[in-house]
Amino acid sequence: MYYKLLVLSILALCSHAVVADDTPPVSSKNYSYLYFENGYPTRFSHRRPQSEKNTAARENPDLVFQTGYYSVMLDCGAIELKGYNALAGSDYWTALNQDVTSFTPATGFTLEVTQGGVAYTCTGALVQASNVDNVRLIESGQYVKRIDHLGLVFKDAQGNELMADDECRLEITVWPDRITFVLDFTRETANPITRTKLQVVSPNDVTHLADSQTNKARLTLKPQEDIKLSTLNPSEYVTQATNLQTSAPLAVSFDPDTHAFNIDVPADPVKYPSAAGRVDEYLIEVTNPLSTVTNIPLRFIQPTPRALTGTVMLLCDADSGRPLGIPVQISKNWHGSSADVHAGFWLRGSTMLTLQPGATQRMKLRLVYGYWGGAGAVSHSQLSLIGYKANWKWDQSALGAWGESLTYDPTQHLGAAFLDDIRPTFTNSYSISNANKDAGDVNAEYDWTENVGGGDFLTYRDSANKFHWLKRLKTCYYQTGPNLTEVHYSGVTDDDKIRVNYTSRMMSTLDYHRHFHAYNYEFLKDVTDPTRLTFFQMAADYYSTAVYDNYYIGDASGLLATENINAVDDPIAGGNTYKGDPISMDGKWLSIDDLSGNSGGTAAQALRGLIPLSSTLNGANLPLHLHKYGRAWGSRTPSMLFDFSADLVGRSYYAGDVVAGEIQFILPPQHVDNYWGSDGELIARLSSYGDAKWEPVRDELVENIQMAVSVHQGTLQNAYPLEIQATTGKRVLTDFTVTRGGIGHIPLLLKGADAGLELQVQRYSSDDAWGNLEAVDIEDDTYYQAVLNADGTMDYSFSIPRPTGQHNLDTAWRVRVIYANLPRVDSHLVQWLSLNNANSVVGRGFLWRGDSQFVKHPDSAWTVSNGSLSNISATNSLVAEGALGRIVSVGSEANDGDLLTLSFDYTLNDPSEVLYVHLWGLIGTAASNQPIMNLAATSGNVWYQGDISMTNLADGGTGTSAGAAAVALSGTSGPQSFSETFDLSGFGQGKNNLSDYNYIALGFARKIDGASAPGVQVSNVVLSLNSKGQEIQPFEKWVSDLGMGDAAVSDDPDGDGTSNLLEYAFGMDPALANGNHASYGNGVTPGLPLPLVQTTTPDTVDFSAVFSRRKNWAMEGLNYTLQTSADLTNWENVDETPSAILSDNGEVEVVSVTSNGSEKAKFFRVSVSQD
């Protein structure tokens, strides 16, 4: 026998991708918009004079509902449906600038009520009058638009007008695929209404009628299908709803007024600082019981609102916690009394799921209260003004949840400015109180701060000095927190000459309030010689609550100029005219040193800082200038407004011109003593400044706007806020170094990434190793947000702090974002224990160590028969709630395994009942009559009673209360199945494998508080076992873990002629030049493939190829193709699979492929590709 070495060639091919987890289907058409076609019908009482009223809007108060499926136009004066159309919508973002242009009137829209036997029909309505605003906005966001109209006029056949309570009304609720009309006369009690009728006759002459013999009628329609919808059964759609704080079921109901499922999400009071970082969680399971794709509308109602100013709701994966990217709109109110319809304190979240036939979606709803991922959470949502001084659109954003930060009045119906209330955050409040704080804390923290508003975007007066309103104003709530808010506003001037788009963004942080305001003005027609056309304004014509003397202007080098607006010799304040020369603002900052807010009533704690970031005309630089406008109005102190525009506010623009720009607005503290936040770097800087007049604004320009970033993986799109186009198909989505600067939390926007990823942020440490980002909950993913884009990608947002304790802004630091969880190859699941033969139960107060059958408390009603466990008692005592226990000896026959799976079937007769299952592991020996489990507990508890070591296999702890149970099931009725795997591997040495335990104890317990007809049955109880396998190591993780960054598959960093992909595929070291072949005699040494020839006679030759490959090669997408040739020219594939696995080391195995033949010579080559 002899061996001959032959030549072996190696080829590598690669096309690879990381496959993301499944993402719940979301229809791109699930959106709604609401706008007045001719602009808001301006109020009769307004800051702006009535001479500038919007006459066209008052004369034609046409309200448009636009969704991805249909459009409806309501004439709010005539009460006619002037539009009722199916609509082929695009997506939420695109539709912002796609207004409805064609309306087909409904054939009929009839409202009728009966009082005292007399029928009255609606003949029209009053929209506006002195101190009257009858059309009210209740809820607004991506999904739900809800309004009502209080000004309805009803007359009988003789023309007599109906007299009724002022709050009798028409209410309209719009979801993307349905609209509900409610005629509500419940408030009329003196002369009750006995019949209400609603009728819509569609353009196709289809009649839809709701005729109620009560004082309230409801009609829900799908205009796109021209059909009427009936009520829905919530138990068929919401199959589980559980409060994860208490394990109690959540109240679920169908609300016919909104045609949606209401889920109550109660919460304990929110007080700071103990609530800092608190996130409440609720498990929601939704099913589509139909045979067609269905949209399911959900509303999350907080019965007692907690942190109203800044609550954020997130939908996350039920298991991993990763954000699903499905928005939850927030609508809220804190004005007036709840005795009035829709006034008072309320908080409602709304979303819509699109599910395939029979599909089920399990989710966690998370409620964020002011902090998220170690920083102050941000929010942007609609705030209802019902109960205040006006009734239309008002948005409110907040950093934290103890006061507002900035409010938006898009139609200028209340404050006569787009930006109204503006307040700093993390600075001292004007109120020294215990509000929002833990018991005993009385200080100026966590409370409302001074108002230094307002501001504006476009101010446009034409050549005749006529003020122009915006019409068709729409809002796209694209992202609403908690890391980032991104909200877009769009409209058209009432002369149809300019289309405007505004964007407001706010970032999570711990230092101070930051907003980014972008504008885009598309000129549809010529605008020649305007009297005043400004792009952005700080302090508005009719809204300016801050009092100040001095402002400062500078650049990166420091202060350039300062001016006192109240200088005795030549004051700028007052006069209602521009004063002085415009100031070029390119590369500059503006700091306003406020003295007070609240129109002089409260000492200011912060500076107002503005930093222009960009200004273009048709894509080319348009130098931005500051124009100083002296303003006096009413009894207010004369002041100066800051108008940002071109060099001339009267400059002309022409059809086709596009002006775009962005300005950052900040409110940093004036002094370290004004700041109660915890950003150590800010504290150090403020301490060095003393009384800061402008220094923190300069710092924002130098250290953030001019922050230096080097991106190693991904594509840099903007340095600050840091926007990076993610690398797709790889484990490392981005890898970057901040080489200089970076104050506060750095907002990271990872754009266009693969959808459905659970992500992990890591920081590169000084010891050349990657570690998880500090001070955030990496495991539960409670530190980042996501939004699902229309193209199927996701944008992820993070708030990245500087390294702890690092205050030197010239010190570099590095961060990456990776795909957190890779697939794992676990061993085959093997059934270890089945209790299907259990047929008896012993009555005793304790489960003993030596028991071989089920044991219950003597008073308990549990029964055991043929493997079925049952307790149908409704007695709220030990009879119903006494526990049922079983102990099992592990024994030597149990296979090793660190994954223990518990499965069973169960039925709850009442969804309010809770079934708890306790799962313990016991280590040690004891007498057979040693008590182990006390069965006399109630309310879902069991008590451990024993001297041997006990481990709760749910979490590795020792808890035995209901809250520590391995399983808590409620919120359902009817037959259900349960299965969950418990990972023991992290419990520590000596208890991280089933074989470490001597016994397993099972306890079944009930809690029936509030259940009207409780009862539980459990069957098919099985414990199964397997072992946790290794993570699959795709190429990207391999190079990342080796510190090679974004190394390509074709790279050869060690210069040995073997590419990275081949080094990876054969288990070699890419940093070590190595031409050795694989060996397997004493263990495995990965290397190049080994050609082998074995002969026993001159005419019998066995040709073999021996090569190393990764053990999980198939799941890692690797393909090894062996080819042979007799002449190195003609190659053929070898179809044989490896005939022998010669050896393996857990990660790499050595295999052999034999090819018999009579050739005197044969050449082999191995090609490797990756899917």
DSSP H or E segment with residue 982: strand 974-983
How many angstroms separate the Cα of 784 from the Cα of each of 381, 484, 817?
19, 9, 11
Q: Say if 239 falls within a structural domain.
A: yes
Is the domain of 619 the same as that of 489?
A: yes
Beta-strand ranges (E) seen in 293-416 are: 294-301, 311-317, 329-335, 344-355, 360-369, 371-372, 375-376, 378-383, 395-399, 406-408
Bridging pattern class, strands 868-871 and 863-865: antiparallel
Phi and psi of 1063, rounded to 5°? Answer: -60, -40
Q: What is the pTM of this model?
A: 0.80
Is the domain of 1006 the same as that of 1099?
A: no
Say how many residues make up the chain.
Answer: 1171
- pLDDT (mean) for 768-776: 88
Neighbour tally for 701: CB within 10 Å:
21
585: CATH: 2.70.98
DSSP H or E segment with residue 788: strand 785-788
Is the domain of 428 the same as that of 351?
A: no
Q: Say if 290 falls within a structural domain.
A: yes
- Side chain identity, residue 587: G
**What confidence tier does 894 reach under pLDDT thresholds 50, 70, 90?**
low
Is the domain of 450 the same as that of 368?
A: no
DSSP string across 1102-1121 = EEEEEEEEETTTTTTTEEEE
Query: What is the rounded CA–CA span in Å between residue 1031 and residue 1112?
Result: 9
What is the tens place of the pLDDT at every residue in 19-65? Answer: 333 444 457 999 999 999 999 999 888 889 999 999 999 999 999 99
- Choose one of 768, 792, 819: the last residue of a domain: 819
976: CATH: 2.60.120
**What confidence tier does 955 reach under pLDDT thresholds 50, 70, 90?**
confident
What pLDDT does 22 receive?
41
Is the domain of 1058 the same as that of 995?
A: no
Query: What is the rounded CA–CA span in Å between residue 1055 and residue 1077?
Result: 17
Sorted by sequence, the CB contacts under 8 Å of residue 1126 that are 6+ apart come out as: 1159, 1161, 1162, 1163
Residue 721's SS3 state is coil
- Choose one of 197, 228, 259: the last residue of a domain: 228
Q: Pick the closest to residue 57 from 37, 83, 75, 74 (CA basis).
A: 37
| 739 φψ region: left (φ > 0), alpha (ψ -120 to 50), beta (else) | alpha
What is the tens place of the pLDDT at every residue in 814-867? Answer: 999 998 766 666 778 888 889 999 999 999 999 999 999 999 999 999 999 999
| 694 φψ region: left (φ > 0), alpha (ψ -120 to 50), beta (else) | alpha
Of the given ranges (183-187, 281-285, 840-844, 960-964), which has the lowest mean pLDDT? 960-964
- The DSSP code for 524 is S
Residues in a beta bridge with 1102: 1094, 1156
Is the domain of 721 the same as that of 596?
A: no
**What confidence tier does 1046 reach under pLDDT thresholds 50, 70, 90?**
low
Is the domain of 802 the same as that of 951?
A: no
Q: Say if 525 falls within a structural domain.
A: yes
Is the domain of 173 the same as that of 293?
A: no
- pLDDT (mean) for 245-251: 95
Q: Pick the closest to residue 749 from 720, 783, 709, 769 (CA basis).
A: 720
Query: What is the rounded CA–CA span in Å between residue 628 and residue 564?
Result: 12
Q: Given the structure tokens 């007008």, which residue do they identify?
A: 161
- pLDDT (mean) for 1085-1111: 73
Query: What is the rounded CA–CA span in Å between residue 721 and residue 479?
Result: 15
What pLDDT does 1132 receive?
86
Residue 24 corresponds to which tokens in the numbers above? 């719940």
What pLDDT does 23 receive?
41
**What confidence tier does 5 reach under pLDDT thresholds 50, 70, 90?**
very low
What pLDDT does 14 receive?
37
Residue 1100 has pLDDT above 80, yes or no: no
Query: What is the rounded CA–CA span in Å between residue 553 and residue 610?
Result: 10
| 939 φψ region: left (φ > 0), alpha (ψ -120 to 50), beta (else) | left
Q: Say if 1078 falls within a structural domain.
A: yes
Q: Say if 945 falls within a structural domain.
A: yes
Residue 660 corresponds to which tokens in the numbers above? 């775009």
- pLDDT (mean) for 223-233: 97
What is the tens place of the pLDDT at every residue in 142-188? Answer: 999 999 999 999 999 999 999 998 889 999 999 999 999 999 999 99
Q: Given the structure tokens 């006529």, which residue do they identify?
A: 466
Is the domain of 813 the same as that of 714?
A: yes
State the residue range of the domain holding 111: 32-228
Of the given ranges (116-130, 650-664, 764-778), which has the lowest mean pLDDT? 764-778
Give the residue with greater pLDDT, 1133 vs 273.
273
Sorted by sequence, the CB contacts under 8 Å of residue 1080 that are 6+ apart come out as: 1106, 1142, 1143, 1150
Query: What is the rounded CA–CA span in Å between residue 221 and residue 342?
Result: 23
Q: Pick the closest to residue 729 from 1012, 1150, 1049 (CA basis).
A: 1049
Q: Say if 25 falls within a structural domain.
A: no
What is the tens place of the pLDDT at every residue in 897-946? Answer: 889 999 999 999 998 899 999 999 999 989 999 999 999 999 999 989 88
Residue 631 has pLDDT above 60, yes or no: yes
Q: How far is CA 209 from the centre of its chain?
A: 39
Three-state SS annotation for 1029-1096: CCECCCHHHHHHHCCCCCCCCCCCCCCCCCCHHHHHHCCCCCCCCCCCECECCCCCECCECEEEEEEE
Is the domain of 136 the same as that of 271?
A: no
Residue 310 corresponds to which tokens in the numbers above? 């800044």
Query: What is the rounded CA–CA span in Å between residue 983 and residue 730?
Result: 27
What is the tens place of the pLDDT at every residue in 976-1016? Answer: 889 999 989 888 888 988 889 999 999 999 999 878 889 99
Q: Pick the closest to residue 565 from 518, 617, 626 (CA basis).
A: 626
Sorted by sequence, the CB contacts under 8 Å of residue 767 that are 6+ apart come out as: none
Q: Say if 573 falls within a structural domain.
A: yes
Is the domain of 166 the same as that of 277?
A: no
Taking the CA atoms of 921, 922, 927 and 929 in sequence, report the sign of the dihedral they define.
negative
Q: Is 3 exposed, middle or buried (0-12, 13-18, 19+ CB in 10 A)?
A: exposed
Is the domain of 921 the same as that of 1010?
A: yes
What pLDDT does 856 receive?
95
DSSP H or E segment with residue 93: helix 92-95
Domains held by the chain: number? 6
- Choose one of 785, 819, 853: the last residue of a domain: 819
Residue 741 corresponds to which tokens in the numbers above? 């600067």
Q: Say if 1165 falls within a structural domain.
A: yes
How many angstroms separate the Cα of 1151 from the Cα of each of 150, 382, 777, 1065, 1118?
81, 64, 43, 13, 15
Query: What is the rounded CA–CA span in Å between residue 112 and residue 84?
Result: 20
What pLDDT does 1045 receive?
65
Bridging pattern class, strands 943-944 and 1118-1125: unpaired
Contact of 238 with 284, CB cutoff 8 Å: yes
